[in-house]
Chain A
Amino acid sequence: MLELKGLTFAYGAVKAVNEVDLHVERGHVHGLIGPNGAGKSTCVDLISGRRRATSGRILFRGDDITSRTVIWRRHAGISRSFQRISVYPQLSVADQLDLAAEIVGEPDVDEIVAALRLGETLRRRCGEISYGEQRRVDIALALLGHPELVLLDEPAAGLSHAESLSLAEHLAALVRQRQTTVVLVEHHLEVVYRVCQRLTVMEQGRVIASGEPQDVRTQPRVIEAYLGSAA
């Protein structure tokens, strides 16, 4: 489905993403975890086209998309949410969902609205609803149009523990139903372990472990990298 080959992104001399290889299976929720500054969000930026890779290749369904534009990728089926919520504060929730749905040809916005519990907010401006609700609008915008691959950049950031778990369950149910592949960057490990079928751990721009969640979490190097700096 998605394959990264030797993907590198450098800010001057610093390699934020360094020779990353990654393989994401169709239909999986693939977790991307690691301490702050590990290069996870940069990876999402590279896959979604927000930044251009310094070197390496990105393959999507076997095609090289490394130099494609954001718009091309969105219509080809790669979509994303943002760590810093990116919505339209002055538009009503209904308005912005309808607008985005029309661009990408989503037939059933209400399915997403229902799954993300946004029904009550529809007539309010996005700037006036709660942080958690704005977060869900951001995710809803990413899910419109049945993208094959959705990149979620810390969807639980800023949410309470309960909110995070609830969001994770709703999301997991929705993507399972829509057969969407997901790359999930997330700090909230409980969310990650609940919904991910595969896990990749990054540290300082490199992949240090990858595999089934139960295998990865017991690797000494992961424990050291993760707990060593996060705890």
Chain B
Amino acid sequence: MTVNETNQHTAEAREPARTPEPPTQAPSPRPGLTVRDALRAERRNDRWVAAAWAVMMLAGFAMPYVLAAYPLQLAVQGTTMGLLAMSIGWLMRQTGRMSFGHAAFYGITAYATANLANHTGLSPLAAVGLGVLMGAGAAVVVALLTVRTPGISFAMLTLAIGMLIWVWAGQTPSVSGGFNGLNVTFEGDFLGRPAAKLINPVNAWPLAWIALMAGMALLWCLSRSRFGRRLTAIRENKERTTFSGHRTYPALVLAFVLSGLMAALAGAVSVLTTSFVSTDSLYWSTSGMALIVAVIGGIGSVMGPPAGAMAFIALQASLSASSHYQVVLGAVLIIVVVIAPGGAAELVKRTARTGARYLGADRHA
């Protein structure tokens, strides 16, 4: 059916609202556009996003052939930070909650994996698996405690919990390596290759890239699922959602845990690709920086935060000699917040929409 046809129907149907004479017979005539049609129209852009993702996924594997070792090393760092930024950005978009505590899940996973690999005979894969489980387990505990608290108090609660863990790590050098950090010796294979060799970016890249792309796909699908829509509803109007018969607490806990799981995954990728962990990974500014790059990249899209992270790593590397990256970063952040809320992703979306309209796509009735 065409959208034009629908419009005529509904325009007629709306007329009676203006006249005091009510229609006498019930049931009233139905306009052509149904809820299902409207939803389908909204989802029409999704296949383009999915296609873009698939192209990007494949193109990503070519990176080691294009980039030299140092830029590739930076790109691996970018995926790690991108995963963390994505987890924090997704939580913020879906629940309106800003977490300063995700560094804890990131750091706990990295430390757990490192200690398991160093002190037990576990294979790297098992160590990483257990490490991620521990990071996610910590997320469960934090979620149960904090998600009821809205707004800035939530940010402060997660900050407090994250900092307690940081203090503990700083005071427990046997686990954390103190302020010098902890070197990890992986022995054995990880997914068919010697884990110790992952420190070489050429070996690390496919792993990091797959993790990022899988995380991205997962969060994107979640955002579009019924669960994702319910989360959006809770963020938008919690009271109404309760009065629509939906329990908000379990949904928020689950969202936080999924996001924490993604942060744990970032920690796992980090420790595998660097063979090193330091207490800085637990400090609140690790969450803070990830949050900032997420906002610059745009939290409205799952692709935004990783893009922001990549851009940040590149910027930091290119300006590291002059050490002025802070002023650039700060200025970019201010500009994004003031004139382009929604970040780079929103700008791209708007451009794409304008382009689509220009090409005559029937996006809007």
Contacts and interface: CB of A to CB of B under 8 A. Distances in A.
Chain A directly contacts chain B within the complex, with at least one CB pair under 8 Å: yes
A23 interface: no
Nearest to A138: B240
B233 A96 contact: yes
B236 A90 contact: yes
B20 A165 contact: yes
B25 to A, nearest CB: 9
A61 interface: no
A213 to B, nearest CB: 19
Contacts of B38: 92-94, 122-123
Interface in B17-47: 17-20, 22-23, 26-39, 41-42
Interface stretch (A1-9, A51-59, A98-106, A198-206): A98-106
A120 B42 contact: no
A68 interface: no
Contacts, number: 145
Contact of A170 (B7, B22, B30): B22
A120 B239 contact: no
Interface residues of A, number: 57
A19 interface: no
A158 interface: no
- Size bin of chain B's contact surface: 35 or more
Nearest to A162: B20
Given A109-B35, A110-B35, A170 B239 contact: no
A71 B240 contact: no
Nearest to B226: A102
B92 to A, nearest CB: 14
Contacts of A169: 22-23
Most chain B Cβ neighbours within 10 Å, of A71, A80, A111, A142: A71
Contacts of B28: 114-115, 170, 173
B14 A120 contact: yes
Given A111-B30, A123-B42, A161-B20, 15 more contacts: A75-B245, A80-B243, A88-B236, A91-B233, A95-B39, A100-B244, A109-B35, A111-B27, A113-B35, A114-B31, A119-B9, A122-B33, A122-B37, A123-B41, A123-B365
Which A-B residue pairs are the 6 nearest by beta carbons?
Answer: A169-B22, A119-B31, A94-B38, A74-B245, A120-B10, A173-B26
